[in-house]
Amino acid sequence: MKEHIKQGKRGAGLFFALFALIFLAGAALLPLRTMAAVQAGKDAPVAMEVTYGFNDTAKGNRYLQIKVHMENREEQDFTGRLEILTTESSMEVYRYDYPILINGGGQEEKSVYIPLGIKTDQMFVSMTDAGGNEVIRKRLKLNISGDVAETFVGVFSDHPEELQFMDEVGIHYGSIKIRQVYLSRDTAPEDTFGYDQLDMILVSDYDLNQLSEAQHKAISRWIDDGGTLLVGGGARYKESMGRFASEILEPPYEEALLQEINLGAEYSQNAPQDAVMEMVCANIGLKNGSSLMPGDTFPLLSYVHKKKGRIVAAAFELKDIRGFCETHPAFIEKFYTMAMGDVKTNELAQMEYSGFASLYFTVQGLINTGDAGRLPNIILYTFVIVVYLVLIGPVIYLYLKKRSIHRYYMGGVTACALVFTGIIYILGMRTRFREPFFTYATILDVSGKEVEEETYVNIRSPYNKPYTVKLNPQYAVRPVTKSYYYDSFTAARFTGEEEYKTDINYLPDRTEIKIRDTVAFTPKLFMLRKQLDRTEHVGIDGKVDIYGGKIEGTLVNRFDYKLEDAVLLLYGQAVLLGDMEPGQEIKLDELEILNYPLSYTYALSQRVTGGDQYEKTDINDEGYMRSQEHSRLLSFYLDSVMNEYTPEATVVGFSPGQMETFLVDDDFITEGLTMVTAKVELSRKENSLVYRTALEQDPKVISGNYQSRYNSMYTGEPAEPAIIEYSLGNDLDIIRVDFKKLSSVFIDNPRYPYLNMFTGKMYFYNYDTGRNDLMEEKESYTAEELKPYLSPANTLTVKYVSEGTNEGGWDRQLPMIYVTGREK
């Protein structure tokens, strides 16, 4: 017995000794393997250097420019691929491939744009040969701030040192830091994605006409996608505008003059003159412009919308406020927030947590459906199963027993089962998928000189095997993934050794998306974008005049196809147009204007598409299914594109006959919908009178909880009043102010249980007495009635006190305020 124990001990000792030997050998070989890898890089047939962004700066959730300088050290040509490994916001590993060819002894430079995820702080760039063997790899550590959100501001200036007072300044209560990037004609990108890292482009004391046509187009498209261009005024304001001057300036162009301007009474620390500066200023008239910072005679800061973005013009040269900003740092925060807008500034502060990934669930709900015609016919299947059960039960048994051959019962049941298995299989043929399939939603915008197409695609496969789809190379491809915050509290460490699940391979004649290691029917979401030259006389022609709550004008469908469920959209208002046949002209004079809730766009979508006419869900009703598809896409557009004030009118319609163009192969099943959008000219004037909404400029919240994007107040327990200061514009002599409530179709409608109208008392602040006066509830107030309530700067302060039951503290939709005035 002792001998066995000794032998066991010796065996255990040998085992641990062997284990220790293997461990030490591995530890010893590890640096050797690392050294071998480094040596392989030195001895590789190629060499490469990698740079990124603007001077190696980057921020997550944006496209990042990667420049790779490659050198072939051998005499024969090198053919292979450039591979970039990165992570998306979901922490999934994605690989981007690009073919490369370097002549013997030659050099090449490759510039590509890679979308970054939320927590992407490094990439791995490698080159592989024609056989797929990796010949060199570099780890690219990205210089991304992890402590505070950053806003990148690109600066065009002949004297950039005079604008450094904005660099490294904290705004939004210190949650955002401004970081300047200096640009010039030589360094400005010629691709829209090259500016995606920037939140704002600032032009001061610089002739923007120096830029090439390609650079100008890239900046213009960047603005359309949501960027902000801030242009300094002063004596050179027309030069600083560059090619944008002819697009947005209202002639005649006034000359700049030396003037005294007040930058804000709140900065008068010792005397009123502390906030007054003498500067060269220009009255910059913008087409359909809105004031951000009113002055005594003209706006000191104004802006005009350009699709999703804006162009902001300052009356003064930005370098001239340097001393004031250094004395009053809070002014920089106010100035930046006004130029960027409160909504976008708040989004920048939250970019680290959501950003582009915030689209995931919205897009998933939009295109994670399919053709209802593929659903099985439950009644038919039920009938077949009942017949089968009757046959294998009493029918076959009684038939065989009657003939005294019931010993064949099991054989008969088996034969019957095989026959009905075949019947079920045949019935289910139209419901089965045998290859990857697509569902998509396309928004086709024909507003400008170029047609812009934005398509959201959901790719699914009915099996677990790897698959590849081929896309039109004209499209830029970006994955849409959710944030990893939804699945875990800590991000997994990215080492570069992970296996990718999605590979996007850019080839000259196609873009291949290769997907592997995925569960059957798992959605893979992508955003595809392309731009094309607009064909002349294609789109929506017409002009819209709206004044005093009445609308006039005509609209003409210039497309060669019908538009279904067309609607004219204004800010907070809509006019239903119905179906528009090719060439059809619609007169607006007799049509009703609907005042819809900004906080509940689903209600408008249902009204436009006819979804509110159905009492219950009926997937077998083709009309019901069509209305729901149209409603989802329209609601998505309203929430993502029309989510803040725009002075333009937009016509939206659905094109059922449009087919997808993003696939190279036509072998796949595709199901989707195309929506067409077009801007049309809008006038809110009649003679010298102007009719506009007071929400052109975000109201100032004195107290309470008010959301300008939704024009709603939140009432908690107990209900807290909201005090809001509206800027009516000091460029007008006020004649009337209207408080427009929602149209009756939306009020107390059981279809919209989450839509709550404000009910309660409304007070106006009286500047003569310093008290809040209870106002009679009515739709319009004249200038005489408003006299004690208007400040010298034409601001109106309103106190809303909610009454009645407070169900869960939901948002209460406030009246939309419209101003009628005479231009000064």
What DSSP string describes 597-647? -TT-HHHHHHHHHTGGG-SS--TT-HHHHHHHHHHHHHHHHHHHTSSS--S
pLDDT of the residue at 184 = 93
* Count of C-beta atoms within a 10 Å radius of residue 420: 17
Residue 213: strand, helix, or coil: helix
Query: What 3 state SS string does 219-284 have?
Result: HHHHHHCCCEEEECCHHHHHHHHHHHHHHHECCCCCCCEEEEEECCHHHCCCCHHHHEEEEEECCC
Q: 197-216 pLDDT, tens per residue?
A: 999 999 999 999 999 999 99
Could you tell me the two tokens for 763?
């007070």
Q: How far apart are CA 227 and CA 198, in angstroms?
A: 8
Residue 552: strand, helix, or coil: strand
Closest CA to 314 of 327, 328, 295, 333: 295
Angle formed at CA 188 by CA 185 and CA 193, multiple of 5 degrees: 160
Give buried/exposed letters for 143-175 (b at 16+ CB in 10 A, else e): ebeeeebbbbbbbbbeebeebebbeebebbeee
Cis peptide before 272 (omega within 30 of 0): no
* Count of C-beta atoms within a 10 Å radius of residue 392: 18
Record: fold of 149-266+273-350: Rossmann fold (3.40.50)
Helix axis angle for 622-640 and 601-609, nearest 10°, is: 140
Residue 191: strand, helix, or coil: coil
Q: How far apart are CA 399 and CA 595, in angstroms?
A: 71
Q: How far apart are CA 773 and CA 762, in angstroms?
A: 8
Q: How far apart are CA 295 and CA 149, in angstroms?
A: 32
- Distinct helix (H) and strand (E) counts, the chain: 14, 46
- pLDDT averages per 10-residue partition of the chain, 824 residues: 38 40 38 35 83 91 94 94 93 94 94 91 93 93 84 93 90 88 93 94 94 94 93 91 91 88 77 80 87 84 89 93 88 91 83 74 81 67 82 79 78 84 77 81 88 92 90 94 69 78 94 91 92 77 90 93 94 94 93 91 92 76 85 92 84 87 83 92 88 88 88 78 90 91 88 84 94 92 94 91 65 91 85
pLDDT of the residue at 374 = 63
**Residue 267 backbone zone (phi > 0: left; psi -120 to 50: alpha; other: beta):** alpha
pLDDT of the residue at 608 = 94
CATH 3.40.50 fits 689-823, yes or no: no
CATH 2.60.300.12 fits 44-144+465-518, yes or no: no
Could you tell me the two tokens for 425?
């299989």
pLDDT of the residue at 492 = 61
Which helix (H) or strand (E) covers residue 388, if one does? helix 378-390
CB 611 within 8 A of CB 651: no
pLDDT of the residue at 272 = 65
Handedness of CA 295, 297, 298, 300 (dihedral sign): negative
**Domain extent listing, the chain:** 1-39, 44-144+465-518, 149-266+273-350, 379-427, 540-683, 689-823
CB 127 within 8 A of CB 80: yes
CB 540 within 8 A of CB 557: yes
CB 369 within 8 A of CB 633: no
pTM confidence score: 0.84
Could you tell me the two tokens for 595?
């005042």
Q: How far apart are CA 513 and CA 478, in angstroms?
A: 11
* Count of C-beta atoms within a 10 Å radius of residue 177: 17
Could you give the maximum distance between any two Cα atoms of the chain, in Å?
A: 117
Describe the strand order of the beta sheet including 63-72 as a list of residue ranges.
46-52, 63-72, 107-115
Closest CA to 732 of 229, 294, 340, 421: 294
CB 460 within 8 A of CB 434: no
Residues paired with 564 in a beta bridge:
654
